[in-house]
Amino acid sequence: NAGVTQTPKFQVLKTGQSMTLQCAQDMNHEYMSWYRQDPGMGLRLIHYSVGAGITDQGEVPNGYNVSRSTTEDFPLRLLSAAPSQTSVYFCASSYDSQNYGYTFGSGTRLTVV
């Protein structure tokens, strides 16, 4: 059981480049989300999905797009990277709203120069 898998683990982008952060889970969880962690800011919700074909914005959605075509995958797209998007990105999943714990991936460390 792999849990939540994020790729890549590290990435350096130039300002204006685009890329997709991958997230996959093998637990058949309906709920998936993306968070970013910045020093002194805790974890902030970017986008989330409550099932295939359904996505919604979180606290800091600007500059990011998501889609959920399958239950397993929830990619996060940066359309035009900016230095302000330098952060550690975590994907998480859960099987229902009363779940007693959300499973997080190990993170993607992104640097935009």
Residue numbers at the binding site for other proteins (CB under 8 A): 4, 31, 33, 35, 40-45, 48, 50, 58-59, 90, 92, 94, 97-98, 100-107
Question: In sequence order, what are the residues at sequence separation of 6 or more whose Cβ sits closer than 8 angstroms to the Cβ of residue 37?
Answer: 43, 44, 87, 88, 89, 90, 107
Cβ atoms of 68 and 52 closer than 8 Å: yes
Smallest gap from Cβ 113 to other proteins, in A, equals 21
Pick between residue 17 and residue 67 the one whose CB is nearest to other proteins. Answer: 67
Where are the alpha helices (H) located in the chain, listed in sequence order? none
Smallest gap from Cβ 76 to other proteins, in A, equals 15
Smallest gap from Cβ 35 to other proteins, in A, equals 8
Pick between residue 29 and residue 78 the one whose CB is nearest to other proteins. Answer: 29
Question: In sequence order, what are the residues at sequence separation of 6 or more whose Cβ sits closer than 8 angstroms to the Cβ of residue 74?
Answer: 23, 24, 25, 32, 33, 34, 49, 66, 68, 91, 93
Pick between residue 17 and residue 50 the one whose CB is nearest to other proteins. Answer: 50
Smallest gap from Cβ 97 to other proteins, in A, equals 5
